[in-house]
Homo-oligomer: A and B are copies of this chain.
Amino acid sequence: MAHEERRLEVLRAIVQDYVSTNDPVGSKALAERHDLGVSPATIRSDMAVLEEQGYITQPHTSAGRVPTDKGYRLFVDRLSAVKPLSMAERRAIERFLDGAVDLHDVLTRTVRLLASLTRQVAVVQWPTLSRSAVRHLEVVQLTASRLLLVLITDTGRVEQRVVESPVEIDADAVAELRSLLNATFGGARLGEAGGRVPELLETAPPHLRGLLAVLSAALVETLVEPGEDRLVVGGTANLARTSGLDFAGTVRPLLEALEEQVVVLRLIGEVDAGTVLVRIGEENAHEALAGASVVSVGYGSGGRSFGGLGVVGPTRMDYPGNMAAVRAVARYVGHLLAES
């Protein structure tokens, strides 16, 4: 029915105006700035209904309306068109990311790029170890009874771990260990690594078994260690931009959550490559993020997701623009990492 449609049109107009001006929007301003074909009075009655339904609210009696979380949700789900990136933005992505020398460099550049494109806080998850595969395992002898185990994954991560050996070791043993480990774990998804340990221990030469057990344990532990899911954060200066207006003094808990990482990781980590996920305000189910929205997507290649990335900002954000930017950057990063 026509009523319904116009009301949604009104909601869309409210969201757009509010996002761009940061002022509660009134019926008169709406009628002027948008071709809704009806008078302010009519818009007022639509707004009354929208408020009744919980999509908008007024900060105080004689102010305009502001979208609620529910209003933004409807906007994102049904009212926003995908906003294509400008040529300048596309070029910026390429220029920014090309020339990165290693994984750390790629992630750092990505997070800066995303922050500058969206003017929000950007976060990028390191490729999760559990979804990576072993490219190479290296054993370096530090002292007679101390080894360094270095893991290099196909996603470019390098992890290290010092291992105390129960027995003294010589150079030959190190070489043997290296080739055994690579033969066993080479190419394995790290999720499967644990399963290959028993077989390795059975078939290995007896004098190396004790050592291999320790090394395997260190390897498996590296994957399980919760700290190994890391986050790169950037653009926090954007929080200070319009702080107090957008975040109503809630900047601090947000900064804390970003440093804690664990909360944000949970949100960012739950994504598939390709599907942009938007969580609005209270949907984040965490106090510090109640006033914020998170736009995230997985990055990876060939249908395989390495990890997630996204932006965190006030609920009053440019959803279509941010969704487009996040998706485009994720796609590019996926290609980049697949190549190297």
Contacts and interface: CB of A to CB of B under 8 A. Distances in A.
A158 B241 CA distance: 36
A256 interface: yes
Interface in A152-166: 152, 156, 158-162
B148 A140 contact: no
A239 B259 CA distance: 13
A136 interface: yes
A171 to B, nearest CB: 11
Interface string A232-245: 00111101110100
A158 B162 contact: no
A105 interface: yes
Interface string A209-233: 0000000000000100101000000
Work out how many copies of this chain go into the complex.
Answer: 2
A102 interface: yes
Which label, helix, strand, loop or mixed, suits the secondary structure of the A interface? mixed
Interface in A246-276: 251-253, 255-256, 259
B252 A235 contact: no
Contacts of A243: 251
B140 A152 contact: yes
Interface string A128-151: 000000011010101000001010
Contacts of A136: 140, 148
Contact of A251 (B102, B140, B235, B240): B240
A150 B158 contact: yes
Contacts of A62: none
Contacts of A108: 227
Contacts of A235: 259
A340 interface: yes
A22 B258 CA distance: 28
Nearest to A100: B227
Contacts of A160: 102-103, 152, 156, 158
A152 B150 contact: yes
Contacts of A259: 112, 234-237
A2 interface: no
A87 interface: no
10 contacts: A101-B162, A136-B140, A136-B148, A156-B160, A162-B340, A234-B259, A236-B236, A237-B253, A240-B255, A243-B251
Across the A-B interface, give the 5 residue pairs with the lowest CB-CB distance, nearest first. A237-B255, A240-B252, A237-B256, A136-B140, A240-B251
